[in-house]
Amino acid sequence: MDLSATRLSNLINVDEAWFSGLRDARFPEPLKPADGDDRERLRSYWDRVERDMRAYLDALRDDMLFEKPLDGEDKDLALWQVLLHVVNHGTDHRAQILRSLSDLGLTTPPQDYVFYCYDNLED
């Protein structure tokens, strides 16, 4: 199993854990790092996690951002803080994965947010 697969499965599992908590949903069986070597399984799992995240974000309202939706050790975190954490966690792992791919000699696409905006946002 390669390091990128481990990082990718961790990234997906953490996103799913946080958003399951925000939706007050049961956290399903996490993706195991070894499953990261099965590209079809990984893609299918990630597609489902992303659909769930997008559904949650589509229903999000500005007034919800200051609510404290979680229990336990995270009970004092406002929703905006949780969302910022998820973004930062993803950025960290994407950088690590890109570095691993680069070390293998692969060329990776630009990762700057502005490039995403140029390609995807309407005027």
Give the residue extent of every domain in the chain: 3-120
pLDDT by residue (tens digit) across 67-86? 999 999 999 999 999 999 99
**57 and 25 in contact (C-beta within 8 Å)?**
no
Q: For all residues of the chain together, what is the average pLDDT?
A: 88
What pTM, to 2 d.p., does this model score?
A: 0.82
Taking the C-alpha atoms of residue 70 and residue 36, their distance in angstroms, rounded to an integer, is: 29
User: At the fourth CATH level, which superfamily is domain 3-120?
Assistant: dinb family like domain (1.20.120.450)
- Higher-pLDDT residue of 114, 29: 114
Taking the C-alpha atoms of residue 55 and residue 120, their distance in angstroms, rounded to an integer, is: 19
Task: State the pLDDT at residue 1.
Answer: 47
